[in-house]
Amino acid sequence: MSLLVEYSVNEGMADAQVDALKQFVDGLRAIADDGYNYTAFETDDPTRFIALLEFNDDAGKKRFLDSAPFNDYREGSKDRFPNPPGTTTIRLVASTRN
């Protein structure tokens, strides 16, 4: 199971968002849970970001959602996001990724 997350940040908050994402990923890496993968992307529009969340199973998704890094990131994002992120459930069809 995977989720595509698309969102915008308030004008002038791109650098703060990049810093928050790096801190968030560092926190997830410290947990070293192989049940999920999180990848974030910035776009040519400095207010628009995309993330890809990949879960091995429902238990991995639950651990991600219950993790301290995710909760810290979510709490800290409230002043950066003008609207909640949009999510789309996606399914892998083909990839060069191992």
The full set of domain ranges for the chain reads 2-90
Q: Which of 30, 43, 14 is nearest to 70 (CA)?
A: 30
Q: For residue range 35-75, what is the model confidence (pLDDT) as tens digits?
A: 999 999 999 999 999 999 999 999 999 999 999 999 999 99
Residue with tokens 């791109």: 14
CATH number of 2-90: 3.30.70.100
The answer to whether residue 84 scores a pLDDT higher than 80 is yes
pLDDT of residue 78: 87
pLDDT of residue 70: 96
Question: In a 3-state reduction of DSSP, which class is residue 5?
Answer: strand
The answer to whether residue 98 scores a pLDDT higher than 80 is no
Question: What are residue 42's phi and psi, to 5 degrees?
Answer: -100, 160
In this prediction the pTM is 0.89
Distance between CA atoms of 61 and 41, rounded to whole angstroms?
A: 20
CA-to-CA dists, residue 28 to 51, 66, 70, 83, 86, angstroms: 14, 11, 8, 24, 21
